[in-house]
């Protein structure tokens, strides 16, 4: 039986982005394997492998992970390995480098945003760029999801085939929901939000890269002046409550609410007035694509990934990194014009045609078919 392996550092990455692709392989008659540093049940997965991946490149566990994964690859003799996440992909390509010749295993790597990018710290380029360039020789197809990464990889990584596919695909069915006023009021009430409150939403892991600490700091004057503005932060906390503590110090507990990881983002978007993002860098941001898909105004920072989406909708405000006044003014502009806005109840079909799951799956399956041949 033909076999495919999907690898990533953590289960959540596979669960969030890659189940449709596991399902595609099942439909093609493959035995589907998944390797992560986790023990969750993965749909469409026949065999689950737990490997000692670590996110940090300086963790010795990654050396153990290379050995573990090499043993798995030598035993299973996969036809295709599709690897994801920075360290998951480093470990996987090192472990599989001999299998490419020995078993004719094809290695596909999706870069969900290189650590090196325009404006990145020097040490990011010094550490991560040489590693990616070296490992490109052990990669049959490198998939990039934004234009900056595609142009860089096409120019610098000559030993691999480089493809551009815009994202991982959004599900139309997931967002094709309608909430009546009663349902919207019920959800707002559950969150402690009043009927007439102006609601901002940021869907992202709370982290240094997503930069919620900066957002909390700069919106304080807006929140003090407008008590009916609320900010929802939806995402798991990777800063050990530091952001919560900052909100408490600023006395904004009533207006900035932490929701943790949520599975009802489509519903939250339906009660939201403004989507925000203060990210320092992105691959291709799913949260922004989803916001455009449901026709929300968006205020976001100018970074790799975000700027790929700037021409997709009229009401997107792109702000310079670190420019507090510009970000504040754009939030206030949307707030002041809120009564003029006619939020469309229909989904943005143009966005779906480009970034929808059907389109992305067709493009990726074409790559799978080409390497199989």
Residues near 342 by beta carbon (within 8 Å), at least 6 away in sequence: none
What's the rounded Cα separation, in Å, for the pair 92 and 94?
A: 5
Strands 3-7 and 316-319: unpaired
- Using alpha carbons, list the distances in angstroms from residue 327 to 92, 192, 277, 298: 40, 26, 10, 11
Q: What is the largest CA-CA distance in the chain?
A: 67
pLDDT reported for residue 346: 80
Sign of CA dihedral 189, 191, 193, 198: negative
Domain boundaries, the chain: 3-169+356-372, 172-354
In the numeric block, which tokens belong to residue 305?
């990934």
Residue 72 parent element (H or E): helix 61-76
Residue 342 has pLDDT above 90, yes or no: no
C-alpha 340 chain-centroid distance: 32
Q: Across the chain, how many H-helices and E-strands are there?
A: 17, 13
Say if 3-169+356-372 and 172-354 have the same CATH topology.
yes
If one counts every other C-beta atom within 10 angstroms of the C-beta of residue 72, the result is: 18
What's the rounded Cα separation, in Å, for the pair 79 and 100?
A: 9
To the question of domain 172-354 being in CATH 2.40.240.20, the answer is no
What's the rounded Cα separation, in Å, for the pair 276 and 202?
A: 5
Average pLDDT over residues 305-331: 92
- Domain 3-169+356-372: top CATH class: alpha beta
Edge-first strand listing for the sheet containing 161-164: 47-50, 31-36, 3-7, 80-83, 106-111, 141-144, 161-164
pLDDT by residue (tens digit) across 113-166?
Answer: 999 999 999 999 999 999 999 999 999 999 999 999 999 999 999 999 999 999
Radius of gyration of the chain (CA): 22
pLDDT by residue (tens digit) across 16-75?
Answer: 999 999 999 999 999 999 999 999 999 999 999 999 999 888 888 899 999 999 999 999
pLDDT reported for residue 56: 85
Q: Are 265 and 234 in contact (CB under 8 A)?
A: yes
Q: Are 295 and 344 in contact (CB under 8 A)?
A: yes
- Selected residue with higher pLDDT from 94 and 340: 94
């Amino acid at each position: 039986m033909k076999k495919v392996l999907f690898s990533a550092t953590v289960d959540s990455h596979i669960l969030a982005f890659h189940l449709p692709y596991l399902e595609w392989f099942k439909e093609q008659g493959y035995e589907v394997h998944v390797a992560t540093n986790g023990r969750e049940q993965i749909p469409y997965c026949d065999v689950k492998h737990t490997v000692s991946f670590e996110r940090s490149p300086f963790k010795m566990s990654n050396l153990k992970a290379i050995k573990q994964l090499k043993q798995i690859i030598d035993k299973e003799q996969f036809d295709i390995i599709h690897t994801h996440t920075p360290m998951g992909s480093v470990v996987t390509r090192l472990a599989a480098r001999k299998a490419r010749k020995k078993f004719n295993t094809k290695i596909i790597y999706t870069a969900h945003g290189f650590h090196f990018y325009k404006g990145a710290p020097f040490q990011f380029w010094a550490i991560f760029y040489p590693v990616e360039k070296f490992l490109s020789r052990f990669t049959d197809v490198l998939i990039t999801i934004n234009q900056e990464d595609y142009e860089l990889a096409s120019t610098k990584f000559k030993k691999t085939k480089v493809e551009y596919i815009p994202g991982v695909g959004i599900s139309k069915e997931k967002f094709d929901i309608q909430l009546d006023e009663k349902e919207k009021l019920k959800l707002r009430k559950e969150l402690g939000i009043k009927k007439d409150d102006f609601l901002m939403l940021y869907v992202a892991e709370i982290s240094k890269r997503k930069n919620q600490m900066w957002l909390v700091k700069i919106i304080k004057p807006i929140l003090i002046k407008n008590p009916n503005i609320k900010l929802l932060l939806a995402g798991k906390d990777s800063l050990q409550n530091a952001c919560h503590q900052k909100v408490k110090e600023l006395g904004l507990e009533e207006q900035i609410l932490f929701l943790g990881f949520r599975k009802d983002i489509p519903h939250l978007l339906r009660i939201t007035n403004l989507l925000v993002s203060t990210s320092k860098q992105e691959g291709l941001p799913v949260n922004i694509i989803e916001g455009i898909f449901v026709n929300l105004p968006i205020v976001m920072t100018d970074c790799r990934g975000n700027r790929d989406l700037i021409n997709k909708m009229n009401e997107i405000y792109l702000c310079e990194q670190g420019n507090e006044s510009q970000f504040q003014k754009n939030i206030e502009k949307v707030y002041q014009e809120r009564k003029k806005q006619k939020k469309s109840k229909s989904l943005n079909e143009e966005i779906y045609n480009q970034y929808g799951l059907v389109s992305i799956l067709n493009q990726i399956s074409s790559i799978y078919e080409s390497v199989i041949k």
